Structure 1
Amino acid sequence: MKNPLLETFQTKYNSAPFDFIKEEHFQPAFEELVRQAEAEIDAIVENPEAPTFENVIEALAYSGSQLDIVSGIFFNLNSAETNDEIQKIAQEVSPLLTEFSSKISQNEELFRKVKAVYDNTPSENLNGEQQMLLNETYKGFVRSGALLGEDEKNTLKDINIELSKKSLQFGQNVLAETNAYFRHITNREELAGVPEAILAQYEAEAKERNLDGYVVTLQFPSFVPLMKYAENRELRREISIANGQKSFKNNEFDNQKLIREIVQLKDEKAKILGYTNYAQFVLEERMAKAPEKVETFLQELLAKAQPYAEKEIETLKELATKDGIDELQSYDHAFYAEKLRKQKFDIDDEELKPYFQLDKVQDAVFGLAKRLFGLKFVETTDIQKYHPEVKTYEIFEDDAFKALLYTDYFPRAGKRAGAWMTSYRSQFKKHGADHCPHISVVCNFSKPMGDMPSLLTFQEVTTLFHEFGHALHGILADTTYPNLSGTSVKWDFVELPSQFMENYCYEPDFLKSFAVHYQTGEVLSDEKIEKISSSKNFMEGYQTMRQLGFGLLDLAYHTKAANVDDIKTFETQETEATNLYPANPETALSPSFSHIFQGGYSAGYYSYKWAEVLDADAFQYFKENGIFNPDIAQKFKKLLSSGGTVDPMELYKSFRGSEPKIESLLKRAFGDQQI
Structure 2
Amino acid sequence: MADSSDKTTAINPQLTDWTGPLGLPRFDLIRDADFAPAFDATLAEAERAVEMIAANPEPASFDNTIAALELAEEPLNKVAAVFYTLASADANPDRQALERDLAPRMAAHNTRIVMDPRLFARIQAVSDAPDALNPEQARVTELYLRDFRRAGAALTGPKRDRMAAIRERLAVLSNQFSQNVLADERDYVLPLTEADLDGLPQSLRDMMAAAARERGIKGYALTLGRSLIVPFLEYSARRDLREIAWRAWTGRGDGTGAGGDATDNRRIAAEILQLRHERAQLLGYADFAAFKLEPEMAGSADRVRDLLMQVWGPARARAEADAARLTEMLHADGVNGVLEPWDWRFYARQRRGAEHAIDPEEVKPYLTLDAMLGAVFDVAGRLYGLSFVPVAAPLWRPEVRAWDVLRGDRHMATFVGDYFARPSKRSGAWCSSLQVQRLMAPDQRAIVTNICNFTPPSQPGAPAFLSWDDARTLFHEFGHATHHILSNVTYPSISGTSVARDFVELPSQLYEHWLSVPEILAKHARHAQTGEPMPDALRERLLAAANADAGFSTVEYLASALVDLDFHDGPPPADPMARQAEVLAELDLPHAIPMRHATPHFAHVFSGDGYSSGYYSYMWSELMDADAFAAFEEAGDPFDPPTARRLEETILSQGGSEPADQLWTRFRGRMPGVEPLLKGRGLTAG
What TM-score bracket applies, with the shorter chain setting the length? over 0.9
Map of 1:400 onto structure 2: 410
Map of 2:657 onto structure 1: 645
1:212 and 1:9 map into 2 onto residues whose CA distance is 43
Amino acid aligned to 1:150: G
Listed one character per residue, the Cα deviations across residues 86-114 of structure 1 (whole Å, up to 9, x for unaligned) are 00101111211111111111111111111
Structure 1 residues 478 and 330, CA gap change in structure 2 (3 angstroms): same
Map of 2:340 onto structure 1: 329
- Structure 1 position 8, deviation (Å): 2.5
Pair 1:191-2:197 in alignment: yes
- Structure 1 position 35, deviation (Å): 1.3
Structure 1 residues 328 and 671, CA gap change in structure 2 (3 angstroms): closer
Pair 1:631-2:666 in alignment: no
Contact kept in structure 2, 1:5 and 1:29, CA below 8 Å: no
1:660 and 1:449 map into 2 onto residues whose CA distance is 45
Pair 1:83-2:89 in alignment: no
Among 366, 382, 387, the residue aligned to 1:376: 387
Map of 1:62 onto structure 2: 71
Map of 2:544 onto structure 1: 534
Map of 1:664 onto structure 2: 676
2:61 and 2:11 map into 1 onto residues whose CA distance is 39
TM normalised by structure 1 equals 0.96
Amino acid aligned to 2:660: P
SS of 1:521's equivalent in the other structure is coil
Contact kept in structure 1, 2:254 and 2:265, CA below 8 Å: yes
Contact kept in structure 1, 2:479 and 2:511, CA below 8 Å: yes
Among 239, 247, 256, the residue aligned to 2:266: 256
Map of 1:554 onto structure 2: 564
Map of 1:654 onto structure 2: 666
Correspondences of 1:300-339 after superposition (within 5 Å): 300-325=310-335, 326-339=337-350
2:571 and 2:173 map into 1 onto residues whose CA distance is 16
Listed one character per residue, the Cα deviations across residues 409-436 of structure 1 (whole Å, up to 9, x for unaligned) are 11112111111111001111123x5301
Correspondences of 1:201-600 after superposition (within 5 Å): 201-249=207-255, 251-325=261-335, 326-381=337-392, 383-431=393-441, 433-450=442-459, 452-565=462-575, 567-576=576-585, 577=587, 579-581=589-591, 589-599=598-608, 600=610
Map of 2:169 onto structure 1: 162
SS of 1:327's equivalent in the other structure is coil
1:345 and 1:300 map into 2 onto residues whose CA distance is 29
TM normalised by structure 2 equals 0.95
- Structure 1 position 2, deviation (Å): 4.4
Contact kept in structure 2, 1:27 and 1:93, CA below 8 Å: no
1:436 and 1:339 map into 2 onto residues whose CA distance is 48
Structure 1 residues 543 and 86, CA gap change in structure 2 (3 angstroms): same
- Structure 1 position 559, deviation (Å): 2.0
Map of 1:137 onto structure 2: 144
2:554 and 2:530 map into 1 onto residues whose CA distance is 38
Amino acid aligned to 2:74: S
Pair 1:115-2:127 in alignment: no
Of residues 597-606 and 62-71 in structure 1, the stretch that sits farther from structure 2 once superposed is 62-71
Listed one character per residue, the Cα deviations across residues 451-481 of structure 1 (whole Å, up to 9, x for unaligned) are 5310111110101000100111111111101
SS of 2:402's equivalent in the other structure is strand
- Structure 1 position 582, deviation (Å): 5.4
Listed one character per residue, the Cα deviations across residues 124-168 of structure 1 (whole Å, up to 9, x for unaligned) are x32221111010011111101111112211111111111111100
Contact kept in structure 1, 2:406 and 2:412, CA below 8 Å: yes
Contact kept in structure 1, 2:46 and 2:76, CA below 8 Å: yes
1:132 and 1:539 map into 2 onto residues whose CA distance is 43
2:192 and 2:449 map into 1 onto residues whose CA distance is 36
Pair 1:153-2:163 in alignment: no
2:476 and 2:685 map into 1 onto residues whose CA distance is 24
2:645 and 2:540 map into 1 onto residues whose CA distance is 29
Map of 2:206 onto structure 1: 200
Of residues 339-348 and 299-308 in structure 1, the stretch that sits farther from structure 2 once superposed is 299-308
Structure 1 unaligned blocks of 5 or more: none
Listed one character per residue, the Cα deviations across residues 623-661 of structure 1 (whole Å, up to 9, x for unaligned) are 121111000001111211101001111111111121122
Listed one character per residue, the Cα deviations across residues 14-42 of structure 1 (whole Å, up to 9, x for unaligned) are 32121121112111111211111111112
2:234 and 2:685 map into 1 onto residues whose CA distance is 23
Contact kept in structure 2, 1:183 and 1:215, CA below 8 Å: yes
2:452 and 2:667 map into 1 onto residues whose CA distance is 30
Structure 1 residues 174 and 617, CA gap change in structure 2 (3 angstroms): same
Structure 2 unaligned blocks of 5 or more: 1-9
- Structure 1 position 560, deviation (Å): 4.2
- Structure 1 position 507, deviation (Å): 1.9
Among 56, 59, 76, the residue aligned to 1:50: 59
1:515 and 1:410 map into 2 onto residues whose CA distance is 20
Identity of aligned residues (%): 35
Map of 1:179 onto structure 2: 186
- Structure 1 position 384, deviation (Å): 2.5
2:593 and 2:481 map into 1 onto residues whose CA distance is 37
- Structure 1 position 588, deviation (Å): 8.4
- Structure 1 position 211, deviation (Å): 2.4
SS of 1:427's equivalent in the other structure is coil
SS of 1:501's equivalent in the other structure is helix
Map of 2:34 onto structure 1: 25
Among 94, 97, 102, the residue aligned to 2:103: 94
Contact kept in structure 2, 1:537 and 1:673, CA below 8 Å: no
SS of 1:261's equivalent in the other structure is helix
- Structure 1 position 513, deviation (Å): 1.2
- Structure 1 position 671, deviation (Å): 6.0
- Structure 1 position 673, deviation (Å): 5.9
Listed one character per residue, the Cα deviations across residues 602-639 of structure 1 (whole Å, up to 9, x for unaligned) are 11000011111110010111112111100000111121
- Structure 1 position 400, deviation (Å): 0.7
1:417 and 1:177 map into 2 onto residues whose CA distance is 11
Contact kept in structure 2, 1:4 and 1:17, CA below 8 Å: no
2:115 and 2:338 map into 1 onto residues whose CA distance is 57
Structure 1 residues 339 and 644, CA gap change in structure 2 (3 angstroms): same
Contact kept in structure 2, 1:572 and 1:583, CA below 8 Å: no
- Structure 1 position 549, deviation (Å): 0.4
2:243 and 2:668 map into 1 onto residues whose CA distance is 47
SS of 2:405's equivalent in the other structure is strand
Of residues 524-533 and 482-491 in structure 1, the stretch that sits farther from structure 2 once superposed is 524-533
Map of 2:3 onto structure 1: none
Contact kept in structure 2, 1:409 and 1:442, CA below 8 Å: yes
Structure 1 residues 7 and 61, CA gap change in structure 2 (3 angstroms): closer
Of residues 204-213 and 596-605 in structure 1, the stretch that sits farther from structure 2 once superposed is 204-213
